[in-house]
Amino acid sequence: MSPLGSSLLALQQADSFFPGGAVAWSWGLETLVADAHLGTSPITTIGRRQRGLRHDRSEEVRAFVEGQLRHRWNSFDRAFLDAAWQAADDLQSLMLLDAQVEALTLAEELRQGSRRVGQSLLGVHVALGTPGAAPYQQNILAGTTSGHLPVVQGLIWQKLGMHRDHCQLAAAHGLCTGLVSAAVRLGVMGHVDAQRVLTDIQPLLLELLDEAPCAPDDASGFTPMAEIAVMRHETQNLRLFAN
């Protein structure tokens, strides 16, 4: 496929309009906002509300997105996406990668989120007739593999003909837009501020993508505050997101 064709596919796959299911997940952001842990203290927040002042949390959202991008996606998900892209024609290797993601994701809520978003994305591509989608879905339904998001992304996007770097760019950009979209829906900031966050994060995104992804055996993730928030999400009285 030509670079321009691959770029067009990447735009389509990373678009929030694409029904991949990621819009239902905040990856801990909702709980952090509810508990006033998004870079601000509860006392400060209450005081501002009582005085009718608006607290601009764009910088705090940008820091959250950066943490997820640097210490979760780049060091963990990206490794499995890239490995799955290279092993797209090898079912056994894909299933081993899936099992590895399952074993290394300690929080059940994160495992469940990765499986559900991955399977949702796969289901869309089964409906679209994307090569390789239906056979992998059959293995998930049979219980022989999990269908984690980065593995599904690598498999499906390689089968579509997307170039390796475009796959990684689409995944990283999709993560960032999903997180700032969650922040907008939570009332943390407006759409213009969200675009500023996305613009500010671009140099880091390009810097990370300029480096080679690590191997799955070297993959690691360290976002403890977000992971604790994800685990505490089910205790919230009001919930807009699945995690």
Could you read off the pLDDT of 39-54 as tens digits, one per residue? 544 434 444 444 443 4
Per-residue confidence band for 28, with pLDDT thresholds at 50, 70 and 90: confident
The percentage of the chain sitting over the pLDDT mark of 70, rounded to a whole number, equals: 88
Strand segments, DSSP code E, in 58-149 are none
- What does the alpha-carbon distance between residue 213 and residue 220 come to, in Å, rounded to a whole number? 12
- What does the alpha-carbon distance between residue 30 and residue 35 come to, in Å, rounded to a whole number? 9
188 contact partners, CB below 8 Å, separation of at least 6: 33, 38, 57, 61
Structure confidence at residue 239 (pLDDT): 62
CA distances from 221 to 74, 100, 182, 206, 226 (A): 9, 13, 21, 19, 11
pLDDT tens digits, 109-153 = 888 989 999 999 999 999 999 999 999 999 999 999 999 999 999
Is 163 strand, coil or helix?
A: coil
Q: Average of pLDDT values for 175-185?
A: 90
Q: Could you tell me the pTM of the whole model? A: 0.87
Asked if pLDDT for residue 192 goes beyond 90, the answer is yes
Per-residue confidence band for 238, with pLDDT thresholds at 50, 70 and 90: low
- What does the alpha-carbon distance between residue 190 and residue 6 come to, in Å, rounded to a whole number? 32
| Residue-range domain boundaries for the chain | 3-235
Asked if pLDDT for residue 24 goes beyond 90, the answer is no
pLDDT tens digits, 94-116 = 999 999 999 999 888 888 989 99
Structure confidence at residue 237 (pLDDT): 65
- What does the alpha-carbon distance between residue 128 and residue 55 come to, in Å, rounded to a whole number? 44
Q: Average of pLDDT values for 56-69?
A: 87
Asked if pLDDT for residue 243 goes beyond 50, the answer is yes
Structure confidence at residue 57 (pLDDT): 76
136 contact partners, CB below 8 Å, separation of at least 6: 91, 94, 122, 145, 147, 152, 155
Asked if pLDDT for residue 165 goes beyond 90, the answer is yes
Is 190 strand, coil or helix?
A: coil
Scored b (16 or more CB within 10 A) or e, 193-227 reads bbebbbeebeebbeebbeeebbebeebebebeebb
Structure confidence at residue 73 (pLDDT): 95
Structure confidence at residue 45 (pLDDT): 40
Is 183 strand, coil or helix?
A: helix
- What does the alpha-carbon distance between residue 52 and residue 237 come to, in Å, rounded to a whole number? 25
- What does the alpha-carbon distance between residue 28 and residue 230 come to, in Å, rounded to a whole number? 4
Mean pLDDT of the chain: 87
Q: What CATH number matches the domain at 3-235, 3.30.1220.10, 3.40.50.300, 1.10.4190.10, 1.25.40.10?
A: 1.10.4190.10
Structure confidence at residue 236 (pLDDT): 67
